[in-house]
Structure 1
């Protein structure tokens, strides 16, 4: 679960699938962040620290493997199912015309949100993420074998205690140019080690991984008429190839690509200021300024 104070005060919002932990900070146009697997809202801490000066930033811990709150039995953890959770969160929170910003697996979820449930989305920002048949990327496809059961995940999670394992290509090593701070890495990996419910949720998600979801949704992206920014890394290792950003941009009716230099796929870790500035320019120049929530989120939450 996320630990960064900069993300704001902790709240819990209940949706049909279960409780979602989230944090809010800043004022201005509302930006809602999605992260990927074995990560949480801490991925966005550097971006939020900058962007919250003039934007309302809502950063959730989605149930993707680094969360603390367990979802209900029978929850659909496929990409369309997680997209339904995102839409349910926006609806329950009374949020409308938000800017949706996503990375990694969260970017694949966001593609489903704008293709199937776009009504509450004013604009979309994708940083390097799963797309087309690249779900999940080759270096971490071992997750589809070892991550299908809670015991397999427990064994895998134990290895992530050590910094040298974290920097291996089959772990987090290809995702950043610089090592992720130890306390943040612990927030990403400890829930899988320590929480049975987290492992159970994540095993269900792993069993639902199928590239047909990212291939199929690409055919429907033309239906999203609002502005899109692809803030993508020119990374050396091709974890999320830059050509995928240009290919995605060609599918959306109104999209542009902005290249983030000197970064791995986790541009939010390597270049958070550049990402924040890209989002700020996008909102200012490409969008009619989104309205804030119709009523305070705190009325819908438990703290």
Structure 2
């Protein structure tokens, strides 16, 4: 008998409807942010160690792993999606939120350009920063493929195979330990099967602002004086460790944890260590 697809709650935002997962409860609110061509399942092992003491919310952002296409005329550039994160907090009426981010850099964009009234803390784990958009060699290769006719479909077809997924410069540089096959299959399926999801992904990925704007947004984050935890891998090949160190100096109230034996996807490589760091950083009421 085929597995039934679990129905997730949905919320209508300006660009379109997005799905999300919510463990519920009265504990401190943690909103987990995923990266390009992923969904909230990248956080599965971390959330398992936090709920139900913490209320863990995982929106599926329109970054290529989403199942519901956005409106045809939606603006899906980096600024718009950073502000969409703020709209999500508002629509769910969330307060005293800790945003926990990995890979994508949308939280910094929100802090630079939107309201931070609902944000109490920030956890940045190995993510885009400064002018590293799209990040590293994988980001460069994605840009090349997106600009080539049929390139995105060819890329997604190649990523059906484990050899391509674990190749250097591909997903092999995103995590030291292989992402479970079923999880990665679910990440790539929407863009593989739905041309409108590919359209959304292309809109976002080809909209990177000039480096001068990215650096201006980064420096604007220095005005965020609430607690910030920066967690970075010393061996990361995509998000340089120096960016983690710079971020820890940029925020007035930040501390840095450096982890060995992990690449960018710390929730995959070091979930227990990351979970412990979040528990220490976000006190239970």
Q: Is the 8 A contact 1:229 1:255 kept in 2?
A: yes
Aligned residue in 2 for 1:216? 216
In 2, Cα distance between equivalents of 1:267 and 1:204: 27
C-alpha displacement of 1:273: 1.3
C-alpha displacement of 1:210: 3.3
Aligned residue in 2 for 1:54? 53
Aligned-CA RMSD value: 1.9
TM-score (norm 2): 0.92
Query: 1:23 pairs with 5, 21, 24, which one?
Result: 21
Q: Is the 8 A contact 1:150 1:196 kept in 2?
A: no
| Alpha-carbon distance change, 164 to 281 in structure 1, aligned in 2, over 3 angstroms | same
Aligned residue in 1 for 2:112? 115
C-alpha displacement of 1:173: 0.4
Question: Helix, strand or coil for the counterpart of 1:219?
Answer: helix
Question: Helix, strand or coil for the counterpart of 2:167?
Answer: coil
C-alpha displacement of 1:32: 0.4
Deviations 1:23-67 (A, max 9, x none): 011531000011110111111111101011310000111000111
Aligned residue in 2 for 1:227? 227
| Aligned residue pair count | 278
| Alpha-carbon distance change, 66 to 95 in structure 1, aligned in 2, over 3 angstroms | same
TM-score (norm 1): 0.87
Question: Helix, strand or coil for the counterpart of 2:187?
Answer: helix
Structure 1 gaps of 5+ residues are 290-303
1:197-216 matched pairs, under 5 angstroms: 197-210=196-209, 212=211, 213-216=213-216
1:6-21 matched pairs, under 5 angstroms: 10-21=8-19
In 1, Cα distance between equivalents of 2:86 and 2:145: 30
In 1, Cα distance between equivalents of 2:210 and 2:166: 26
1:136-215 matched pairs, under 5 angstroms: 136-140=134-138, 141-148=140-147, 151-210=150-209, 212=211, 213-215=213-215
C-alpha displacement of 1:94: 0.8
Structure 2 gaps of 5+ residues are none
